[in-house]
Amino acid sequence: MKQWQEIDGGWTLQRGSKADMVGPPNKLPAKTMAAVFPSIGATSDAIPQVCRWFATLPAQKVGDGISVLVRIGGTNAPAQVWANGQKVGTPLRPWISQVLDLTKFVTSDKPTLIALELEAPHGGLWSAGEGEALRMGPILHEAPRYFVAAGPILEEVHVRADFQTERVRTTLKFLGALDGAKVQLGVKFTAPDGVKGELNREMMLFV
């Protein structure tokens, strides 16, 4: 199983007005520049209404439960992701790290062209990003990364515990279909001082 990693070949940036980007991004444009993360570090005068980042995802063997996922670390405007000229879901919410499943767009015989499109949300004007007062949007908090794995992937775990009743409420967020898979989750309670044992609990939850 691979870890989250940079997309091979890096990213390039296309700047242009909305009129220049009406068509779906199904090929790498002729005029691009190297993309710099976490932001492009330019003044508001240099930022057009729409920007697109392009990268190619290597050909991957899919099927047999193999998933290809891309993580977008957060932007200062809704971001639309494209794969081979097709929209991938709805625009991503700003400021929140999100994961997209690109499995159905990926093939084993050729690379997948990915485009990340940001459009200024307020009448074509960008505002300063959080913590980057001198750098105007659009801002990507980190370079998008991808992950290839077989079977479901556990993305988030939230555990709420009541030490008096020993009840535990666990919320699991998976990427990919479980398809009847058994998931084992261990929750261990330990006293804060590490010495007293009255809060020691061990249990296994199966979902």
Per-residue pLDDT reduced to its tens digit, 82-117: 999 999 999 999 888 888 989 889 888 899 999 999
- Residue 62 scores a pLDDT above 80: no
What average pLDDT does the segment 61-80 reach?
84
Range with the largest mean pLDDT of 25-29, 43-47, 180-184: 25-29
- The pair of structure tokens assigned to 64 is 């047999």
What are 123-171's pLDDT values in tens digits? 667 766 555 444 566 788 888 998 888 777 777 777 777 767 767 777 8
103 burial level (CB within 10 Å; 0-12, 13-18, 19+): middle
Domains of the chain: 5-150 (2.60.120.260), 153-206 (no CATH)
**Residue pair 53/142 in contact by the 8 Å Cβ criterion:** no
Q: To which residue do tokens 């992950």 refer?
A: 147
Phi, psi of 151 (to 5 degrees): 85, 175
What is the rounded CA–CA span in Å between residue 107 and residue 100? 16
Percent of the chain with pLDDT over 90: 15
Dihedral over Cα of 92, 83, 99, 75: its sign: negative
Beta-sheet pairing, 79-83 with 86-87? antiparallel
What is the rounded CA–CA span in Å between residue 1 and residue 136? 38
